[in-house]
Structure 1
């Protein structure tokens, strides 16, 4: 089977991590897989090496004119990828986000999470990428249920995999280097942005510091298409008001990320919108105590393996519990949970789904005979 997986970026965002891992697992299962994406900022490759069994097509995406708005950049992203991508050689065209789904046209779509946007172009991109694909996947039942209620769309649920061995078997020396550099720390991966609940985490950390003054807050990651400078400025202003000084690492080299996670005293995941929580699952693989926002989707994925907090005070209290009380039973449950989520299993389930769409007639990502989802009215 010839499969095209489409993404919008080369950066280590959750959807891009998913796309590459799925592509490699599909290729290992004997499929002919090509990943298409945009190379922003001069990127000619992904944030990590990709198995040579997977073909990659990175479409150059030059910086826009000064003053380009988010909406204009969204439209230019769609047009650039659409102009470069030819679906006709492929049996399956599978888009992982709204930009690539708009560029691909008729396709399979994985809806990783649902969002609400105020930028008109982005809101329209999001809506089209839900209603126009002929088949849908979700990485959790919670998102699939929201898609059914809001749009009348039935989606197959295939959870993410996780690179378990990569996070479970980090070298002691590498972990010691991070501890020597950072001391004791709570880690959050995903950058500083509204969806990640960064301001709530900052407030929770300030509360935590009253009893744990030696613990640092460390933020890693953060490459994104969107402009969160105003939110980041508010976050920095609030940090100064609270008298706290978090460490912001930015994007961490791929080979260094597992030891950074494994050396943490706790992993904070206070997102207000999520579809699965891949970074949090990686923390469980590393045996790190996990504190997450109390959301239905995160209850679905992490019940029994994580601590949950609904408010800033809850998050602070659960972080304090994780820092002061060993919980080997919860740690064992977390490791077992992470180990069960393999990319091989995800790939086999994707192949079964593709085949259920009668993929062989014809090529170009437009099977005949597959069940076509019909959108309904409503909003998330």
Structure 2
């Protein structure tokens, strides 16, 4: 099959990581795969090298000073749509167009293509252009996939749609091997014992709750630092970041001084990511909304204990392999327990991660694509994937 995978960014966000890994796994199975994305800020390539078997098309997207989120979303869709339409006209339409987010799904639709859409998680926006982008990207694609049963249930309850469930994969071997990487020891030497959070400072990640949990934890474990990595996003979280920074300043004004400041790394080089994860004493995964939980699966692959918010989707995916909390105090208590050695069996977490193989995920996508090509779409009901994927 000729397959176009679409994503909105070159940066290491969860959906982008998913897109690249899936594209590589599909190419390894003999498909002709092209990944399309927008090159924001002058980017000409993804955050990591992509296997040569995958063709990469980065569409230039020049920054504009003081452009608000809404107009930037509209322009993103238009720029990517124009590139997709031109390619379809000049090279012929692919067999499958698979969009991994609302921007790329809308771009495919505007280009006259009929995308399959993976819904990684459902958002609640207030910006009108984002609301419209989100809604159309759910109802208009020819077929929908969900990465977990919880997301599938949300689509059924909110829109009467029943997507097939195709879970995520993880490069478990990479994160397991990072335990012995010299860079892991260097992270520990630089930072001391640390609780890591990935994904940046934003409302969906529950960063303020984790900051408050760490402030409580420091009373019992003053040597443990909080480290935040990642954070590239299209959306405007300035108010949330301002509230976070104000709370940090208030904590730093106390008797602990600068020791009460978390370490904010920003985006980390790809070569350093797995060692950073493997070097952590624990991963704080307190998102208020998730679709699957890739970062937690990566940590489990490295044998790092995870403290997660008790969300239905995370209980579905992780079961008893992680510790749970629901608010800053319970997060602090759970972190204290796992740091003290009272953590779920790491062997169970490693086994869970090792079972999430990208080749299996690619095979399930093959079945989904074949069903779309055979039936013309999902018609709002779960695709018949021949038993390869369970749909609720």
Aligned residue for 2:81? 82
Aligned residue for 2:360? 345
2:175–2:278 Cα contact (<8 Å) kept: yes
Q: State whether structure 2 residue 318 is matched by structure 1 residue 302.
A: yes
Name the CA distance, whole Å, in 2 between partners of 1:326 and 1:153.
41
Name the CA distance, whole Å, in 2 between partners of 1:292 and 1:4.
34
Q: Which runs of 5+ in 2 are unaligned?
A: 253-259, 382-392
Name the CA distance, whole Å, in 1 between partners of 2:152 and 2:133.
19
Name the CA distance, whole Å, in 2 between partners of 1:253 and 1:145.
36
Name the CA distance, whole Å, in 1 between partners of 2:181 and 2:82.
48
Structure 1 residue 172: Cα displacement: 4.1
Structure 1 residue 346: Cα displacement: 0.2
Name the CA distance, whole Å, in 1 between partners of 2:63 and 2:378.
40
Name the CA distance, whole Å, in 1 between partners of 2:250 and 2:9.
35
Structure 1 residue 226: Cα displacement: 1.1
Aligned residue for 1:212? 221
Q: State whether structure 2 residue 180 is matched by structure 1 residue 175.
A: no
Please give the residue correspondences for 1:1-380 in structure 2 after superposition, counting only pairs within 5 Å: 1-64=1-64, 66-86=65-85, 87=88, 88-105=92-109, 106-170=114-178, 171-243=180-252, 244-327=260-343, 330-358=345-373, 369-373=376-380
Compute the TM-score of the two structures, normalised by the length of structure 1: 0.94
Name the CA distance, whole Å, in 2 between partners of 1:316 and 1:286.
22
Name the CA distance, whole Å, in 2 between partners of 1:211 and 1:326.
15
Which structure carries more relative contact order (alpha carbon 8 Å, separation 6+)? 1
Name the CA distance, whole Å, in 2 between partners of 1:47 and 1:207.
35
Name the CA distance, whole Å, in 1 between partners of 2:306 and 2:24.
28
Offset from partner CA, 1:178-230 (integer Å, 9 cap, x none): 11100010000100000000000000000000000000000000011112122
Name the CA distance, whole Å, in 1 between partners of 2:190 and 2:56.
36
Structure 1 residue 242: Cα displacement: 2.2
Offset from partner CA, 1:51-80 (integer Å, 9 cap, x none): 00000110000002x321100000000000
Q: Which region of structure 1 is more displaced relative to structure 2, 232-241 or 134-143?
A: 232-241
Task: Tell me which protein shows more helix as a share of its residues.
Answer: 2
Compute the TM-score of the two structures, normalised by the length of structure 2: 0.91
Name the CA distance, whole Å, in 2 between partners of 1:261 and 1:94.
30
How many residues of Structure 1 are paired with residues of Structure 2 in the alignment?
364
Structure 1 residue 372: Cα displacement: 2.3
